[in-house]
Every structure is written in C-alpha cells, then in structure tokens.
Chains A and B, each alone.
Chain A
C-alpha cells in the first residue's frame, strides 16, 4: 500500500469513527440529557382527582406555592425550599430582593389561587370557598409571616392554616 493511501485511510478512519460516535450518542439522546425543566408557576396546574385530606392538602399546597411563586417571579421549587426554615427564607429574600411584606402578599395571592383551583376541581364546596377567600384576604401581615415561618403547617395541617374557616373544611370535603 502506498504512503499517500495509508495517510488517506487514517484520516478517513478518524472521520468515520468520530461521526459514528457522535451519531450513536445523538441517537441515544445525548443532546437532550439535561435536568427536566420545571413548570412555569403562572401556568395552571390541573388537580388530579384528590382523595382524602392528605392529597387535597398536597395539591392545595402545590397550587398555593404556584400562585405565590408566580406573583414573585420565582420558581415554585425555590419558594418551597425558602419556606423550609427562617434561615432559608432570609437567604431567599436576600437573593431575590423580596421583603417579608411582599412575600406575605404573594402567599396570600397563592392561597386564593389554591382555593380557586380546589373549587374548580370539586375538592372544595363553593359554600366553603367563599368564606375561605374572605379569611385569607383578611389574614394580617404578621399572621402571613407566621404561616411562612411555620411552613410545616402549610403541608401538615390545613385546618390551622386556614384559621377559623378551617374547622368547617372536613364537613365540606368530597
């Protein structure tokens, strides 16, 4: 085999093997291997046939976080981590330049959206939804902050979270 042909074969082998590797990895999804994109919190997240208080609480919380995050312009996930502890909330406030008043207003808006979603999904009777909205709208600022500080209650104890109207909740659940 002459010298020139050997050189051409080597270059050809380099091109072919590179293209085969790139093609194989692309076919296996190489260009799309990245973290899943989180949903835009401003987009409606439909409820999925909630059964029992636990699932209603889960979806109510998710809707409330979506609503608050949408108002603040952050992701629902970042807000959820921020609500975990006072220290996390302080870091969140500093990072995004959000003060407690703005956070409280956003959480209130989130709660209202959650009530709307619950009502729309048939998980909350319209008879209860109205008073709940009134309660949420009148939650004083310090109560909203307290709710944020004690974020466990958002997930774990819907009745406490909803205040006086919460006592009626069990009766109106589907």
Chain B
C-alpha cells in the first residue's frame, strides 16, 4: 500500500464523504433563491435536489462495484475530480436545465468517491467496524451541516458559491488519495481482491429509504415554509434549521446507552414521525414553535440512521457494496419523499394562497378605512399577486407609503398585519398535509424494522 501516513488520508476520506453527502442537502436553503433567480416553479426547482439524489441512488451500487474493479484509490480520486468539475459547472449555470444536468454529473462523481472511500477506509484505519463508523459519522455530519452552510453562503455570497466553494475542497480531499491511486496503478493489487457479494439487508435498507424520505421532506418543507411562507432570510432559516443537527448530536449520544439497534431504529422512527406531526400542527406562524418538533426529528434521525446503517453493514462483506446499498436506499428515499410530497404541497400552496388573499381582502373590505383607500389597497394587492406569479406574495410593499394621517396610518398598519397573518396562516396550513404524509412515511418504516430478522448486531 501507499507510504502515505494514515491520518491525513483518513481525514481526506472523511472529508470526501462529508462533502458529497452534504451535497444532498446543502442546496435546500438555496432553493428559494435559485427558484427566484432562474424564474422557475417550486416543482421545477425541487429537481435541483431530486436529480442529485436520484443519480446517487442509481449509481451508488454500480459505483461501488467499479471502485472495487479499478481500485478504490483511483475511483475515489477520479470521483472527486468529476465532483469538482461538475460543481464548477453548477456554479456557472444560468439555466435550470444546465444546473440539473451538472448536478447529475456531480452525483456520479460523488457516488464513486463515497463508495470508494468506504473501501479505502478499513485499510487506512485498520478495522472494518471503525471504518464503517467513521464513514457513517462523516456522512451524517455532512448531511446535518449542509443546510446551514448552504444558507449562510447563499445569504453572504450567492447560491452559486455553494457549488464553487466545493471545487477546491474536493480537490484538496483528492490529494492524499492520489498516492493510493498511484500505488494501485503501479501494482494493480486491489484488482485481485474482488470477492463475491452477499445479499443486501432488505429490511434495513427499506426502512432507511422510508425514514430518509420523511427526513428529506422535513428539511425541504421546513426550509420552504420558513423562507417562502414566513419570509425568513436564508441565513435566518439556516440558524433555525440548525436546531435539527444540534438535536442529532444529542441523539447520537444515546447510541452507546442503548445497544439494541432495533430499539434505536424504532424509537428514532417514532421521534421523527412525532416531530413531523408537530410541524403539521403548528398553532401559529412562530419560529420558536418549530424548535420542539425539530428537537424530536434531530434526535430521531441520529438514532434511526445510525442503527439502520450499522444493521445494513454489520457482518456483511464487502462493505463498499453494502455501503453502496445504504447510500442507494437513503437517496432513493429522498427522491421518493420529494416526488411524492412536492405535488401535494404545491397544490396546497396555490389553494391556500388564494384563500389567504381572499381572507385578507375581506378584512380590508369590512374595515372602516375610506372606500378610496380600500380600492387602492385592493389594486396594490392584485398587483403584488400578479408580480409574484403564483408564489406566496410579500404583502408589505402593497401598503407603502403609509398614510400621513395618524388615524388612517394606524388603521392601515392594522390591516397590513391582519393580511400578513392571514397569509402566514395560509402558508403554514398549506404545508400541513405534506408534513402529515411525511410523518406517516416515518411510521411506515416501523414495519420493516419490526419484521427484520437480523436487526440486532
């Protein structure tokens, strides 16, 4: 093997896994900005997320097989190079179609890098179990930090910077791995190590897919609710959704206390579903009210993902292939969740938007402000609706400038707040059925968890 010291290589492999799996969620907070800048629809912009996860789901297992055939060092290095190049293409895309295409290529490179990393890690750290732990932790950390990092970059720089910043990071991660690749080229040693692969753990992977669908929906829907519904800035939303990974850290501390993977998986799925049901039943449009549900979801995702990944990999060889299956299951779940729920909540948003605007207009028509002011406000609201082209409108500007007369001013401010409250209620209510469906998906994961024969490690 290479003379490279293990520590930098371990760090590089963990960085590669974290970077790629962060990409599954890093764009979540940037989607509303992409949605506005590329002038697309909610359904269209979700494909920036879906395309990456779909290709990851389809390519993970073939990528693992390829990595074992050509050598994991070469596969990881090439995968990271593809990932970096496609990231650059994403960053300079000015059309939704090219962005989605580049995301597909990025996922191909990512799948190769992640599965090859799992193949390289045991030799680097000296134990398959430790390798699996590092690999799973790096992936979970990346996925958890992704949305916050993406939100901060979107607000401070631009959505393009999310992809551009990945280029040097991916290349930096590839450098220590190049030594392994050169060694493989010289010896071809790993080409002789291809072994027969055992069957994947069906129940664990099925449960992973269902839970991942629920978690992806939780993150995606919550971000859309915060930014598009309640009009938070990306950085504000990033701070809010950071509650979930923080809670996940808390949840991961429960792992050693409860050795039963089956219990952790079941409890995790229940926590996730309970949190999603809480999000479906928000009593007001208050950011603080999203925190208790996020706490449950965060604790739940840490428990259920680690328990199911351990189960899927436990005692199975080669790990890269079974790791590929878990990657495939998780990303397929994300795709299923987004594809199943996007039509539900986009239809609900359209319907609730109309109801909310009607309710707000009723408040204006029934108010005691002068008839001239009423019709002026009605006209401005109609203009805002038309300008927003079917999206939830920012209603504040329709009330500017405020009347100079103190009495009228107070009345108009009251009307503006009332109309905004109706819009908030509409946006919040529009997401409820989708959150409930996601909660149901999380609960359905209990079936394969309960039926699994070998969930205990």
Contacts and interface: CB of A to CB of B under 8 A. Distances in A.
Interface of A: 3-4, 6-8, 10-11, 13-15, 17-19, 21-22, 25-26, 28-31, 33-39, 54-55, 57-58, 61-62, 65, 75-78, 80-85, 87-88, 91, 151-152, 154-156
21 contacts: A6-B257, A7-B260, A10-B254, A10-B263, A18-B270, A28-B283, A30-B280, A33-B282, A33-B425, A33-B428, A34-B355, A34-B426, A35-B425, A35-B426, A36-B362, A37-B355, A80-B378, A81-B357, A81-B378, A155-B372, A156-B370
B43 interface: no
Given A18-B271, A18-B296, A22-B277, A54 B361 contact: no
Contacts of B200: none
A81 B263 contact: no
Contacts of A34: 352, 355, 425-426, 428-429
Contact of A25 (B262, B270, B281, B371): B281
Interface stretch (B22-30, B76-84, B146-154, B379-387): B379-387
A13 B355 CA distance: 39
Contacts of B352: 34-35
Contacts of A55: 368
Interface of B: 254, 257-260, 262-264, 266-268, 270-271, 273-275, 277-278, 280-285, 289, 292-293, 296, 300, 303, 352, 355-362, 365-366, 368, 370-372, 374-375, 378-379, 381-382, 385-386, 422-423, 425-426, 428-429
Q: Most chain-B CB neighbours within 10 Å: which of A11, A13, A31, A83?
A: A11
Given A29-B283, A81-B361, A22 B382 contact: no
Interface majority SS (helix, strand, loop, mixed), chain B? helix
A58 B426 CA distance: 27
A156 B264 contact: no
A78 B358 contact: yes
B275 A18 contact: yes
Contacts of B356: 35
Contacts of A154: 371, 375
A22 B381 CA distance: 36
Give the residue among B292, B365, B385 with the most A Cβ atoms within 10 A.
B365
Nearest to B279: A25
B283 A30 contact: yes
Given A4-B260, A10-B254, A77 B358 contact: yes
A66 to B, nearest CB: 10
B447 to A, nearest CB: 15
A14 B260 contact: no
In the A-B complex, the 5 residue pairs with the smallest Cβ-Cβ separation, listed nearest first, are A18-B274, A7-B263, A155-B371, A30-B281, A84-B379
Contact of B365 (A17, A57, A80, A82): A80
Contact of B371 (A26, A30, A38, A61): A61
Contacts of B280: 30
B275 A21 contact: yes
A21 B292 contact: yes
A36 B263 contact: no
B266 A11 contact: yes
Contacts of A3: 258-260
Contacts of B428: 33-34
Nearest to A82: B382
B39 to A, nearest CB: 19
Contacts of A36: 359, 362, 422
Contacts of B386: 87-88, 91
B359 A37 contact: yes
A35 B281 contact: no
Contacts of B355: 34-35, 37-38
B362 A39 contact: yes
A145 B253 CA distance: 71
Nearest to B366: A62
Nearest to A158: B371
Given A62-B366, A155-B374, A33 B429 contact: yes
Given A22-B281, A81-B381, A155-B370, 7 more contacts: A17-B271, A33-B429, A34-B429, A37-B359, A38-B359, A39-B362, A78-B358
